[in-house]
C-alpha cells in the first residue's frame, strides 16, 4: 500500500494554515516507519492538540501514520535550542511542503550543532547514572527484596525519560511520575507507548513503579510479587533500549546530512565555485512513499453478505492498528453453525445465510504480551483473538505441537507486515502420541468430574452455595479438558466465559450443549460465571431444596455432556490415524 503524499499535502494545506510539512523515517519498535511533522501557524484560542481530528480526516482513506503537530514559533524555538528530534525531523531532505521563503535555523548553524552535541553528551551522562540504579536493582533482586528493586527501576526509567525528553525538546519539569512523563512525550514519540501500554491489563503493574517510589519517600513499603517485578524489569529494559535506538538513529541521520553538506561544500570549493550557491534543500522528488503496511487478504471468496465482509475488514484493520502484530491469521469462523468447519478435525459444516459472523484469530506478535486473549466487536462481526509471540511459535513448530502446527498450516493470513519474513516450517504431528495423551487426559478428567458429582449427590447436607461452587468447578474442569484435547492450547489467564467462547474455534458443541437448556439452568450459569457474587453477596442463600436439586441435575448433565464431547474428540483422532495409515 502506498501513501500519496501529494494528495495528503493538498488536503492539509486546504484545511489548515500550514507553514511546513516534513515526512521522515523514525524507529517504531525497532523498525523504520514513516512519521509526519506538521508546522502550523498558530490560531488564536485554539490549542495545538485541537487540530489532530483534521489531520485524521485528511488521512481517512489513506494508511494512517503517526504525526506531530507544533506551532511555527515553537518549532523555531526548538531548532534554536538544538532539539535532536526536531532537528532530525526538519532536515531539508525530509521536507514535503513550505509555504513561504523565510529561512529558519537548520543543522548548518554552528550554534545548533554545538547545542545538539551538548544534549547528546548530557543524554550519555544521564544514561550512565541510570545504569547505576539498574545495577542496584539487580542487587536487591538477588536479595529477593522486590520492593527496593522496583524503586531502583523507577529511578532508572525516570532518569532515562528525562534525558530523552530533553533530546526531543520537551519541558522536563520536576515531576517524578513516569506515567505523566510518558504522556507528555506521547505526541512526539508514540512508539514509547507501544512498550508502556497502560492498557487495562498492564496499568496496575506499571503504576507499581510510581507507587513504590512514593512509598519509599514516606519510608513505607508495599508488597510486590516476584512475577510483578519481572514483568516491570522486562518493560523497563525494553524502554531503555528503545530510547537508545531512537537517539542513535536520529543522531546518525543528522550526522549523515552534515557530512553530505560538508562534502558538497568541499567539492564546490575545489571547483572554484561559491559556497553561497549551494542549495541546502534536498527535497524528495517522488510523490509516493511506501508505507510499512500489512499484506491484505480480502473475504471475496467467503459466502457472506457484503456488509459482513465490510465489517470484517474494519475490525481486522482496527486490530492491526492497535497491536501492530507481525501477522493476523484467521483460524476459523462461525455463524449459526461453523462456516469453515473444524480445522482440528476433518469434517466440514457449511454456513447458513443471513447470520452474524464470529472470527477466531491468532495474532502473531514479535514479543510476549501481558495478555493472551482479547475480544472485539464491530457491526455484525465479532473477533476472538489469541496472542502468540514468535519465539513461542518457533519453539512449538519445532516440537510438532498440534495447535501451532494447524494454525501455521491451515489458517488464512489476513494481515501481515511487509517487513515480516520467516522460513519456519511445521514439523509433522505425531497423532499416535497425541491420541495417547488425549485419552489419558480425558479419562482422568472424567474420573475427577464423576467424583465431584458423587460428592454433590451423596453429601448428607449440601448447602446451595457449596453446590453452586462445585458446579462451577465441574464447568471449569470440563471446558479446560475439552479445549486441551480438542484444540491443544489453552490461553493463559482466561476466565470461564472466555474459555467457553474460545472453544468454538473448533466446535460450537460446548456452547450449544450449555445454552440449549431450561431458563433456570441459564440463570444458574449466569451466577457461577461470577463466583465473587457467590462468595460475597450470597445469592444462593435464597435457594430452596428445589433449586439445589436443579443444580445437581445440571451438574449431572454437564458431566454427561463433556464425556460425550471428549469421546468424540478421541474418535476423530482415531479416524485420522486410520485414514493416514
pLDDT tens by residue, the chain, 581 residues: 456 788 888 888 888 888 899 998 887 666 777 888 999 988 877 887 788 888 888 888 888 788 888 888 888 888 877 778 888 888 888 888 887 655 555 555 565 566 667 777 777 878 888 889 999 999 999 889 999 999 999 899 888 888 887 776 666 567 778 777 777 666 556 555 566 666 656 677 878 888 888 888 888 888 888 888 888 888 888 888 888 888 888 888 887 877 777 777 677 666 655 444 444 444 333 334 444 445 556 777 788 888 888 888 888 888 887 788 889 999 998 875 434 555 555 544 444 343 378 999 999 998 887 788 888 888 888 999 999 998 888 888 888 888 998 888 888 889 888 777 777 777 888 888 889 999 999 999 999 999 999 998 888 888 878 888 899 999 999 999 999 998 888 888 888 888 888 888 888 888 888 876 667 777 777 888 888 877 777 654 566 667 778 888 889 999 999 999 999 999 988 888 888 77
Stated as kind and residue range, the H or E segment containing 415 is strand 412-416
> Residue 546 to residues 110, 322, 476, 550, 573: CA-CA distances in angstroms?
88, 49, 24, 6, 41
Helix residue spans in 383-430 (DSSP H): 390-399, 402-410
Residue (of 115, 120, 119) closest to 105 by Cα position: 115
Residue (of 22, 26, 23) closest to 248 by Cα position: 26
pLDDT of residue 109: 54
pLDDT of residue 280: 40
Q: Which set of grid coordinates corresponds to residue 379?
A: 457491526
pLDDT of residue 278: 44
What count of other Cβ atoms lies within 10 Å of the Cβ of residue 249?
Answer: 15
pLDDT of residue 243: 81
pLDDT of residue 367: 82
Q: How far apart are CA 560 and CA 353, in angstroms?
A: 32
Amino acid at each position: 500500500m502506498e501513501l500519496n503524499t501529494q494528495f495528503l499535502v493538498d488536503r492539509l494545506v486546504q484545511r489548515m494554515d500550514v507553514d511546513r510539512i516534513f515526512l521522515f523515517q523514525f524507529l517504531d519498535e525497532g523498525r523504520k516507519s514513516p512519521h509526519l511533522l506538521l508546522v502550523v501557524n498558530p490560531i488564536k484560542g485554539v490549542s495545538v492538540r485541537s487540530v489532530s481530528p483534521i489531520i485524521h480526516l485528511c488521512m481517512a482513506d489513506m494508511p494512517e501514520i503517526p504525526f506531530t503537530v507544533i506551532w511555527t514559533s515553537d518549532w523555531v524555538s526548538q531548532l534554536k535550542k538544538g532539539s535532536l528530534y526536531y532537528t532530525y525531523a526538519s532536515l531539508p531532505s525530509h521536507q514535503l511542503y513550505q509555504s513561504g521563503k523565510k529561512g529558519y535555523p537548520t543543522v548548518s548553524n554552528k550554534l545548533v550543532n554545538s547545542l545538539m552535541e551538548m544534549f547528546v553528551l548530557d543524554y550519555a551522562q544521564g544514561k550512565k547514572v541510570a545504569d547505576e540504579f539498574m545495577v542496584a536493582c539487580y542487587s536487591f533482586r538477588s536479595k529477593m527484596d522486590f520492593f527496593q528493586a522496583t524503586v531502583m527501576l523507577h529511578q532508572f526509567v525516570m532518569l532515562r525519560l528525562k534525558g530523552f525528553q530533553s533530546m526531543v525538546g520537551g519541558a522536563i519539569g520536576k515531576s517524578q511520575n513516569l506515567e505523566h512523563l510518558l504522556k507528555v512525550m506521547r505526541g512526539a514519540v508514540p512508539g514509547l507507548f507501544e512498550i508502556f501500554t497502560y492498557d487495562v491489563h498492564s496499568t496496575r503493574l506499571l503504576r507499581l513503579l510510581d507507587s513504590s517510589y512514593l512509598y519509599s519517600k514516606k519510608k513505607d513499603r508495599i508488597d510486590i510479587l516476584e512475577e510483578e517485578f519481572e514483568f516491570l524489569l522486562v518493560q523497563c529494559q525494553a524502554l531503555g533500549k528503545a530510547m537508545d535506538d531512537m537517539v542513535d538513529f536520529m543522531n546518525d541521520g543528522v550526522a549523515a546530512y552534515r557530512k553530505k553538506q560538508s562534502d558538497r561544500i568541499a567539492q564546490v570549493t575545489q571547483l572554484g565555485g561559491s559556497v553561497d550557491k549551494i542549495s541546502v534543500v534536498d527535497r524528495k522528488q517522488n510523490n509516493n512513499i511506501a508505507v510499512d503496511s500489512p499484506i491484505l487478504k480480502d473475504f471475496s471468496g467467503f459466502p457472506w453478505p457484503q456488509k459482513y465482509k465490510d465489517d470484517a475488514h474494519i475490525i481486522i484493520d482496527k486490530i492491526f492498528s492497535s497491536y501492530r502484530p507481525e501477522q493476523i491469521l484467521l483460524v476459523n469462523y462461525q455463524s449459526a453453525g461453523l462456516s469453515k468447519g473444524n480445522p482440528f478435525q476433518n469434517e466440514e459444516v457449511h454456513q447458513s445465510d443471513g447470520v452474524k459472523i464470529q472470527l477466531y484469530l491468532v495474532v502473531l506478535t514479535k514479543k510476549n504480551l501481558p495478555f493472551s486473549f482479547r475480544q472485539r466487536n464491530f457491526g455484525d462481526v465479532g473477533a476472538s483473538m489469541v496472542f502468540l509471540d514468535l519465539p513461542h511459535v518457533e519453539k512449538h513448530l519445532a516440537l510438532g505441537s498440534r495447535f501451532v502446527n494447524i494454525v501455521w498450516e491451515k489458517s488464512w493470513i489476513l494481515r501481515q507486515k511487509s517487513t515480516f519474513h520467516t522460513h519456519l516450517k511445521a514439523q509433522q504431528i505425531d497423532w499416535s502420541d497425541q491420541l495417547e495423551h488425549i485419552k489419558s487426559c480425558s479419562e482422568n478428567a472424567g474420573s475427577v468430574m464423576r467424583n465431584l458429582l458423587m460428592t454433590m449427590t451423596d453429601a448428607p447436607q449440601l448447602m446451595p452455595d457449596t453446590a453452586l461452587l462445585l458446579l462451577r468447578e465441574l464447568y471449569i474442569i470440563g471446558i479446560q479438558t475439552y479445549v486441551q484435547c480438542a484444540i491443544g492450547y489453552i490461553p493463559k489467564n482466561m476466565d470461564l466465559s472466555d474459555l467457553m467462547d474460545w472453544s468454538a474455534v473448533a466446535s460450537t458443541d460446548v456452547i450449544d450443549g450449555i445454552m440449549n437448556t431450561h431458563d433456570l439452568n441459564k440463570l444458574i450459569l449466569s451466577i457461577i460465571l461470577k463466583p465473587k457474587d457467590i462468595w460475597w453477596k450470597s445469592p444462593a442463600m435464597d435457594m430452596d431444596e428445589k433449586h439445589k436439586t436443579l443444580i445437581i441435575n445440571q451438574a449431572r448433565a454437564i458431566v454427561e455432556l463433556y464425556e460425550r464431547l471428549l469421546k468424540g474428540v478421541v474418535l476423530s483422532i482415531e479416524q485420522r490415524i486410520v485414514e493416514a495409515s
